[in-house]
Amino acid sequence: MELGKLGVWQTWHRGTGAVEAIEAAGYGTFWVGGSPSVEQCRPFLETSSSLVIASGILNVWQHEPGDVAEARAAVEQEFPGRFLIGIGIGHPERTSDYRRPLATMRAFFDGLDAAASPVPADTRCAAALGPKMLDLARERSLGAHSYFVPAEHTRIARERLGPDALLAPEVAVVVEEDAETARRVARGYAEYYLASSNYTNNLLRMGWSDADLTDGGSDALIDALIPHGSAESVAAAVGSHFEAGADHVCLQALGHGDAPAEDYAALAALLL
């Protein structure tokens, strides 16, 4: 499965309007965010001709592995080699029965393996931040999809995953040269994630302080997590993830509407 160097991350609620422009700009993968089902990813496959479509991520609490495997087999028959299942555990604050995340993810993989139409390991990846989940991603799937991480986490993740596993971080960006405006947009996006313990625990584990995580995030934290500035400076910051070991980076452009085609085109021209 050829993911390409760059992808785009967009919640499935925003629809398929950006897909054709993203494909034309040369991106290899469209990550369908917002905890989609396999069927909610299907319109993105139907709208594109060559893009890999990846779920970013299918939430294990909301699905049975046998049902996912059956739906994935149907999609694979219709769109061979173009669907990657990104699987994740979600957020404790938003799942009432959240428990034993590592064991639950392992059991979900077991279910995919045991299904009537098993899901091959190289057609699935795992949302992973901490060391044990990164280990599971390496052992049971194509690799790891990380989210809301600075380039330093990409370096740490690559060391943990080893040289062969996929490492595909999401990187939100703001193509905006006015720093005050860009940070305002970035903080609006970051608010949700700074209220989610899996992300804040990951940042604390990396050495960021509680002070960095409060009041919308320190400037240093926001700048590290969400590159902003001219297209050239954003592209350079995205490049730091590749230098740290990313195989593929999925961009999420903020601040210019739901489908900022010009931002994606400008970044593709510099990075591809």
The pair of three-digit structure tokens given for residue 23, joined into one six-digit string: 């494909």
Predicted confidence at residue 48, as pLDDT, reads 98
Q: What is the mean pLDDT of residues 165-181?
A: 98
Domain membership of residue 32 as a residue range: 6-170+232-271
> Does a structural domain hold residue 210?
no
Instruction: Give the integer Cα–Cα distance in Å for 237 and 75.
Output: 35
Strand ranges, E, within 25-80: 29-33, 52-56, 58-59
The CB density around residue 87, as the number of other CB atoms within 10 Å, is 27
Q: What is the mean pLDDT of residues 227-249?
A: 98
Mean model confidence pLDDT for the chain: 96
Predicted confidence at residue 93, as pLDDT, reads 59
Predicted confidence at residue 95, as pLDDT, reads 65
Predicted confidence at residue 91, as pLDDT, reads 72
Query: Does residue 243 have a pLDDT over 80?
Result: yes
> Does a structural domain hold residue 180?
no
> Does a structural domain hold residue 137?
yes
Q: For a pLDDT cut of 70, what percent of the chain falls above it?
A: 97
Query: Does residue 102 have a pLDDT over 70?
Result: yes
Query: Does residue 94 have a pLDDT over 70?
Result: no
| Cβ contact 143:162 at 8 Å | no
Query: Does residue 90 have a pLDDT over 90?
Result: no
Phi, psi of 73 (to 5 degrees): -60, -40
The CB density around residue 113, as the number of other CB atoms within 10 Å, is 14
> Does a structural domain hold residue 193?
no
Query: Does residue 96 have a pLDDT over 90?
Result: no
> Does a structural domain hold residue 184?
no
Q: Residue 146 is part of a domain; what is its CATH number?
A: 3.20.20.30
pLDDT in tens, 113-161: 999 999 999 999 999 999 999 999 999 999 999 999 999 999 999 999 9
Tell whether omega for the bond before 57 is within 30 degrees of 0, i.e. cis. Answer: yes
Cross-strand pairs, 31: 9, 54
Per the structure, the count of domains in the chain is 1
Q: What is the mean pLDDT of residues 33-40?
A: 97
> Does a structural domain hold residue 155?
yes
pLDDT in tens, 40-52: 999 999 999 999 9
> Does a structural domain hold residue 248?
yes
> Does a structural domain hold residue 196?
no
